[in-house]
Structure 1
Amino acid sequence: MDLFIPEVAYINPQALKHPLGNEAYQYLKSLGVPIIESNRVSIDTDSPVKNYVKAKKTILLTVSKQKKLQQCKPSADYQFALSSSCPGHCEYCYLQTTQGEKPYMRLFVNIEEILENIQEYIDGNKPNITTFEAASITDPVGLDHITRALEKCITYFGESSHGRLRLVTKFDHVDPYLKLPHNGHTTFRFTINTQWVIKNFEHHTSSAHERVEGAKKIAHANYPLGFIIAPIMLYDHWEKDYKDLLEELSLALKDYEKPIGFELIQHRFTSKAKDLILQRFPNTKLNLDEESRKLKWGPYGQFKYVYPKEKSDYMRDYLTGLIKDLFPNGRIEYFT
């Protein structure tokens, strides 16, 4: 798919004090993107839906002041951000309830300070290996053509004796990472799903086939590789669609001999998320029928609606069976 180009870019003057900030500024300028020098983003339309859509076309180049990193189990020891929000318009996104009515994208360009902070965590945990997740609140690949911050991170972790990087993406724009000296210290994961799910709910993201092709490139570049199958949805032809998807992926990775991790996550939603989804996507095809789900207490202090146990167990058994049959080097990390 085409690279994301914002309709407007706000630039915090502090960002221009950093090399990546200046490079990104020149890149956006060359594309003819309107630029406003301000740390305050103004989005004020006449409806929440229009605010959401406009925000998803707006970026802010700025600096990260985060020093205290949050833990990120089970994915990694800690998480950090190179950006927030992403160009995708995924209707079910778990960030719907955390990024406000106007989820414009912030891109952090003070990469040298971000990496210095990470190094302090690595040093404080030696001689143990410390792992870091870079995609908890964003899709870094979807925005990295603007700042190239992820390229810097992969190279940095490639040289690190005790630090490891993990990330996940729904985009296939992986060419810039193929020749980097990663030394096997960065694990690339792709969120994959059936084309029916992607077409109906994952707007402005790469297609299922494009993601498989992106994963094939990453595999040939000898990165550690994994996949998040999420959100797993039950619909009329779901079994065939997931089987077709995994068969295509298996064929693409037939020469890849390293272990492949699979994280399986069924579709879930909270009452708060449901209200926001229906506000932003009034014609959604998402199944948000609370009566057909069961309540499960979530780790962030609220109930979520998941599939009933009988359906959930069948979903788990069916997909894990496919993975075991198609991927001799595959391992199921968890199902939730």
Structure 2
Amino acid sequence: MPFEPDLIVLDTQAAAHPFTQRVLDALPQAPVVRDQSPEAAVAALQERALDVFGAAKRQLALTTFQGSFLKKCPGLSPGMVCCNYYVVNLIKNCVYDCSYCFLQDFLQNNPLLTAFVNVEDLLAELDAEFRAHPDRAFRVGTGEVTDSLALDDLLPYTDYLVPFFNRQSNAVLELKTKSDCVDNLLKQPNPANVIVSWSLNPEIIVEQEEVGTPSLLQRLDAARRCSEHGFQVGLHFDPVILFDGWETAYQTLIDQVFDHVPGHRLEWISLGSFRYRPNLKRVMQERHPATRLLTQEHVAGADGKFRYLRPLRNHAYDTLRRMIKQRAPDVDVYLCMETKEVWEGVTGHLPRADESLDRFFDF
């Protein structure tokens, strides 16, 4: 169903922005509270809501972002290999409610669904950064603390971002999503320098753990439509989740992928295992008591996150990589937030030695 917030929280600085008016015009029935800070709105939720994080997803704060939009990916952690990725956060929180979502812990103190309306400041910052470093290849994603496309009909950031990245010679934009909300994106005539990527899991995981998201086939149909429009497509099997029969389930998933999107239209596939910080386990148990993700043994890594034992991760990555290469030998497959030891165990080398990934991995 289309998202309709229970309340729009509009601060003073955001009120005059053109982007704000577009959002308000798209939601004429939504009640608006003006001149209230997001912090005050969260405090009000804390007084009456049992599940504050869940209730905060139903309120939309429109505000301006102060500071630098462009940041290095948080995957640059102790002991982890970094893929030279940059992130831009235009929205904070997500309308979906996956059991494993790190935002439940990460945004616990300020979980309000928040959209930053000063898009012109973002574009000016990106333009200056890209011009200052013409020899650097920038891979920029908007899906770190939200879903890049789930609200694109109401918060049409792609109307601004896609034409901007079309003009760049040293940067690509990745729109990472679990949604099938691509109608607004497909109005863009030029797909250059834009990769639309989907986070995928077998349908049994979608049904059990990815609450409120479109089905696997809905996502794959959206990927097909984007591919046919000329967009390159990326895929993220992340988090890879191990359960009885996971090999068969992921083989079915991979077959479904290539039945919808030809291998030559895939820009990359990333693999990343289920991982979490210690406090997220408690939050998952409280908000998603039916989750099945915490029954196996997990161990802490150098970055403080808990993961499956390394031999299990190695086996899973090796199995999935082999399945993918059987269907598309030339597609780039890389690992997300993993150690050098796991990289070498799965691929036989570090990414700096993989010529096909040289444009994305800079050491």
TM-score normalised by length of structure 2: 0.84
The match for 1:94 is: 102
1:313–1:78 Cα change, 3 Å: closer
Looking at structure 2, the residues matched to 61 and 75 of structure 1 have their Cα atoms a distance apart, in angstroms, of: 32
Note the residue ranges of structure 2 that are not aligned, 5 or more in a row.
Answer: 77-81, 339-363
Give 1:45 deviation, angstroms: 4.3
Question: Partner of 1:294 in structure 2?
Answer: 299
SS of 2:103's equivalent?
helix
CA distance, structure 2, for counterparts of residue 150 and residue 76 of structure 1: 23
Look up the equivalent residue of 1:63 and give its one-letter code: T
For the residues of structure 2 that align with 1:46 and 1:13, how far apart are their CA atoms?
A: 24
1:260 aligns with 2:267: yes
3-state SS of paired residue (1:117):
helix
* 1:164 partner SS: strand
Q: Map 1:7-86 onto structure 2 (within 5 A).
A: 7-29=6-28, 32-41=29-38, 42=41, 43-45=44-46, 49-67=50-68, 69-72=70-73, 74=82, 76-86=84-94
State the secondary structure of the residue aligned to 1:212: helix
| 8 Å Cα contact 1:194/1:208 also seen in 2 | yes
CA contact (8 A) 1:165 1:185 kept: yes
- Residue equivalent to 2:342: none
Partner of 2:222: 214
Establish whether residue 280 from structure 1 lines up as the match of residue 287 from structure 2.
yes
Q: Do structure 1's residue 197 and structure 2's residue 196 form an aligned pair?
A: no
**CA 26–334 in structure 1, closer or farther in 2 if over 3 Å, else same:** same
Distance 1:27 1:75, change over 3 A: farther
Task: Provide the C-alpha distance between the structure 1 equivalents of 2:35 and 2:205, rounded to a whole number of angstroms.
Answer: 38
Amino acid at match of 1:296: G
Secondary structure (helix, strand or coil) at the match of 2:89 reads: coil
Q: Deviations over 1:155-210 (max 9, x none)?
A: 11112233321221010111211241444211111000111111111111111111
Instruction: Show the 5 A alignment for 1:171-186.
Output: 171-186=179-194
User: Could you tell me which amino acid in structure 1 is paired with residue 312 of structure 2?
Assistant: K
**Could you tell me how far apart the structure 1 residues matched to 2:69 and 2:220 are?**
35
CA change 1:175–1:76 in 2 (3 A) is: farther
> How big is the shift at 1:54?
0.9
Where in structure 2 are the equivalents of 1:103-114 lying within 5 Å? Answer: 103-114=111-122
Q: Percent identity?
A: 21
Deviations 1:89-118 (A, max 9, x none): 011112222111552211111111111111
- The answer on whether the counterparts of 2:197 and 2:236 sit within 8 Å (CA) in structure 1 is yes
What's the CA shift for 1:260? 3.2
Q: Post-superposition, which runs of at least 4 consecutive aligned residues in structure 1 deviate over 6 A?
A: none
Per the TM alignment, residue 309 of structure 1 is displaced from its structure 2 partner at its CA by 2.5
Give the number of aligned pairs.
Answer: 326
RMSD between aligned residues: 2.0
